[in-house]
Amino acid sequence: MSSATTAITPQAYLQAQSRWHPLEIVFWLATLLPFFLFPDYLSLASQIAITALFALSLDLILGYAGVVSLGHAAFFGIGAYTAGICSIHVWGEPFSGLAVGASVAGALGYATSFIVSRFRHLTLIMITLGLGLLAHEVANQAHWLTGGSDGLQGVRIWPLFGVFKFDLYGYTAYAYSLAALFMIFLGVRRLVHSPFGLALRGIRENWLRMPAIGADSRSHIRTAYTIAATIAGAAGAILAQTTQTVALESISFQRSADVLVMLVLGGAGRLYGGLVGAVIFMIARDQFSGIAPQYWYFWIGVLLVTVVMVLPNGILGGLSHIYARWRRT
């Protein structure tokens, strides 16, 4: 980068940002590897893809718009329950179930965005936490609809396109969740490299100044929050469809905290931050599943403290820092 970049136009800047990097193509090709190399781990791979999608949705509001949410699992859970209930009471066609789950979560996201966009700082954290806990409590109490703490049983999903069954091996599940992840990722990628995405980053940096240059912070945050809720709902719906059950855990504070950890570990405010974080987090959790969950959280805690103290921009931030330094010398 030389002095020529100082005279760059906004259009050229956004275009340069949105060009595909070779590493990105390698990354997406690598997501196909589990089909050939680890066919026994396809259900884990499908969980990772779903979690990555969820982390991507949080990245949109937290990493780009700077809205810290401690209750994002509410939308994930709502999407999951909606898709599950839809398959029990209406029909089990997967795509329409996914669409319904995502739209219901998006509608609730739109409704709550009017509350969320009014606040910053501690009040915002508390409001999102409170809304998340409210959603959890509703799911817990509405036993007749959600199965409460026993989880939602009896989810039956029809084969994909009427041909590919969701079986134990997870071929269909992984293909389905990976395809959804990739397509939604393309959409998000386009979004954050659009002027709208640039405005979101501006709001993250200074929420009071953006309205002064004509970008209303609140309406931008409302839009971003709704989109993020829709994506989180889609992730939840895919989880419900591929595992054919919905546990109360999918709407819990624990899940909100987990996704936050992944995103921060990978690097918030970067498209691949949530994805990389989800891959590392889920594989580590699978490898250490032998140790009791309460000790697993010890390491999560250590990790969080280390990331905040040593790697403020996550793994990807650290890597790009090293790369930039290496380029300079």
Partner 1 sequence: MLPPIFGVLFDGIAYGMLLFVLSVGLSVTLGLMNFVNLAHCAFAMLGGYVTAVLVNRYGWPFLATLPLAFLAAAAASVVLERVFYRRLYRASDLDQVLLTIGLAFISVAVATYFFTTNQQPIETPSFLRGSIDFLGIGFGRYRVFLIGVALTVTLLLVAGLEYTRFGAMVRASVDNQRMARGLGIDVDRTFAFTFALGSGLAGLGGGLAIEIVGLDPNFAFTYLVYVLIIVSVGGLGSIAGSFAAAILIGVSDVAGKYYAPELGAFLIYLVMVVVLMGRPAGLFGRR
Task: Report if residue 130 touches partner 1, rule: CB under 8 A.
Answer: yes
CB closer to partner 1, 44 vs 138: 138
Task: Report if residue 154 touches partner 1, rule: CB under 8 A.
Answer: no
Give the binding range for partner 1 (CB under 8 A) out of 21-29, 174-182, 230-238, 298-306. Answer: 298-306
Task: Report if residue 304 touches partner 1, rule: CB under 8 A.
Answer: yes
Task: Report if residue 298 touches partner 1, rule: CB under 8 A.
Answer: yes
Rounded least distance, CB 274 to partner 1, Å: 14
Give the binding range for partner 1 (CB under 8 A) out of 101-109, 111-119, 171-179, 282-290. Answer: 111-119
Task: Report if residue 280 touches partner 1, rule: CB under 8 A.
Answer: no
Give the binding range for partner 1 (CB under 8 A) out of 32-40, 137-145, 162-170, 173-181. Answer: 137-145
Taking CB under 8 A as the criterion, the residue among 294, 325, 326, 329 binding partner 1 is 294
Give the binding range for partner 1 (CB under 8 A) out of 9-17, 181-189, 277-285, 296-304. Answer: 296-304
Rounded least distance, CB 64 to partner 1, Å: 13
How many CB atoms neighbour CB 179 within 10 A? 13
Taking CB under 8 A as the criterion, the residue among 12, 25, 37, 126 binding partner 1 is 126
CB closer to partner 1, 143 vs 165: 143
How many CB atoms neighbour CB 261 within 10 A? 19
CB closer to partner 1, 61 vs 275: 61
**Can you give the three-state secondary structure of the chain, one letter per residue?**
CCHHHHHCCHHHHHHHHHCCCHHHHHHHHHCCHHHHHCHHHHHHHHHHHHHHHHHHHHHHHHHHCCCCCCCCHHHHHHHHHHHHHHHHHCCCCHHHHHHHHHHHHHHHHHHHHHHHCCCCHHHHHHHHHHHHHHHHHHHHHCHHHHCHHHCECCCCCCCECCCECCCCCCHHHHHHHHHHHHHHHHHHHHHHCCHHHHHHHHHHHCCCCHHHHCCCHHHHHHHHHHHHHHHHHHHHHHHHHHHCCECHHHHCHHHHHHHHHHHHHHCCCCCCHHHHHHHHHHHHHHHCCCCCHHHHHHHHHHHHHHHHHHCCCHHHHHHHHHHHHHHHC
Task: Report if residue 111 touches partner 1, rule: CB under 8 A.
Answer: no
Rounded least distance, CB 138 to partner 1, Å: 7
Task: Report if residue 206 touches partner 1, rule: CB under 8 A.
Answer: no
Give the binding range for partner 1 (CB under 8 A) out of 21-29, 181-189, 232-240, 307-315. Answer: 307-315
Among 173, 200, 149, 224, CA closest to 49: 173
Question: Which spans of this chain sit near partner 1 (rule: CB under 8 A)?
Answer: 62, 68, 70, 115, 118-119, 121-123, 125-127, 129-131, 133-134, 137-138, 140-141, 253, 257, 260-261, 264, 268, 292, 294-295, 297-298, 300-305, 307-309, 312
